[in-house]
Amino acid sequence: MQSEQEILRQYLKENGLRRTPEREHILQEIFATHEHFDVDELYLRLCQKGVKISKASIYRALRLFLDCGLIREVDFSDGHWHFEHIYGHNQHAHLRCLGCGEIVEFEDPNLTLLQGQLGRDYHYQIVSCHLEVKGYCATCGKTREKSL
Amino acid sequence: MQSEQEILRQYLKENGLRRTPEREHILQEIFATHEHFDVDELYLRLCQKGVKISKASIYRALRLFLDCGLIREVDFSDGHWHFEHIYGHNQHAHLRCLGCGEIVEFEDPNLTLLQGQLGRDYHYQIVSCHLEVKGYCATCGKTREKSL
DNA sequence: AAATTATTGCAACCGAGTCGCAATAAAGAT
DNA sequence: ATCTTTATTGCGACTCGGTTGCAATAATTT
Ligand SMILES: [Mn+2]
Ligand SMILES: [Mn+2]
Ligand SMILES: [Zn+2]
Ligand SMILES: [Zn+2]
């Protein structure tokens, strides 16, 4: 199995794009942890590691990584973009607490089946499948009951 | 079963808010069709019907309607908000064509089961569950193959 | 009818994300 | 190794969806 860097380099070559230290630094940072991230967080993490880079370049790199399937968008409905790396990971869905923001990742084999079903039923070529469940975790649920 | 207007009036009364023609016009327009909509579309539709209203009030009303569960956000990942009315409708998910934007709505009984399962497994009180599947419809899929 | 205060419209504002451009630097050709 | 081509970067200006402060208005309560 190729590394994410190899995937990137291959994609760049195939599309007449160039390999740059900026792109590789960003990609490395994205795959350094399993955390979900937004542009500001990523920018900060890079700054802290001494990588000098502009936000414009980060935005541009993220679009590139989306195109080659290394990352995907995660919808937090909070007005700006969040992402996570997906290359090398099983597809998963998110259960998020509206109180504290905790995120539980879970896999659902039914989703894979559903994709096949949808593809067949509606003659669609499925590209992505995002399931986001929201609610209150045990702790936040209790706090909430009291205040009602 | 109560009408959406009754739901709204009840919510307003319970929260010390006021019933206004603006809010009722907006709500009526939202439930006039089954279309998904964004703020601009809704604003235009209201203008065309001669309802004079500011966009600020639409934004404020939509937040209100979200709070009382009359509408929900729909994620199109295109940089601005989309909504649909949900009161009086079964929960459904979306299959959207990345080429032409066509939207197929479908129900998946497994999702309901999954919610119960998640609630039990992780002690979460589930509030919402959004499934968005993206891909290419038969037509757009063919057009796409040619251009590759 | 008067008093209270939520709501509206407007316009100024905010901020995430984009874009044009000049400087830089990859990659290929010689 | 140097030259040429052109993709990429950083910067700052810009866009535009969405928010907010405020004075005027109007829904409710008394
Ligand atoms: Mn995740
Ligand atoms: Mn729908
Ligand atoms: Zn919580
Ligand atoms: Zn299509």
Closest-CA distance of chain B to residue A33, Å:
24
pLDDT for A16-73, tens place per residue?
999 999 999 999 999 999 999 999 999 999 999 999 999 999 999 999 999 999 999 9
The pairs formed by A102-107 with CB atoms below 8 angstroms and a separation of 24 or more are: A102/A137, A103/A36, A104/B122, A104/B124, A106/B118
Mean predicted confidence (pLDDT) in A121-138: 96
Q: What is the DSSP string of A110-124?
A: HHHHHHHHHHHHHT-
Give the model's pLDDT for residue B110: 93
pLDDT for A76-97, tens place per residue?
988 999 999 999 999 999 999 9
Q: Do B125 and A115 touch (CB under 8 A)?
A: no
- A125, A143, A145, best to mutate vs chain B, most B CBs in 10 Å: A125
pLDDT for A97-111, tens place per residue?
999 999 999 999 999
Q: Per-10-residue mean pLDDT for chain B, 148 residues long?
A: 96 98 98 96 97 98 97 93 96 94 94 96 96 96 79
Nearest-angstrom CA–CA distance, B81 and A147: 30
Give the model's pLDDT for residue B147: 72
Contact call for residues B57 and B51 (beta carbons, < 8 A): no
A141 interaction partners in chain B (CB closer than 8 Å): 123-125
Closest-CA distance of chain B to residue A32, Å:
26
Nearest-angstrom CA–CA distance, A47 and B42: 43
At B5, is the secondary structure helix, strand, or coil?
helix
Q: From residue B78, give the alpha-carbon distance in Å to each of A35, A69, B74.
A: 24, 18, 11
Distance of CA B93 to the CA centre of its chain: 11
Give the model's pLDDT for residue B148: 63
Which domains can be identified in chain B, with CATH numbers?
1-89 (1.10.10.10), 91-148 (3.30.1490.190)
Give the model's pLDDT for residue B40: 97
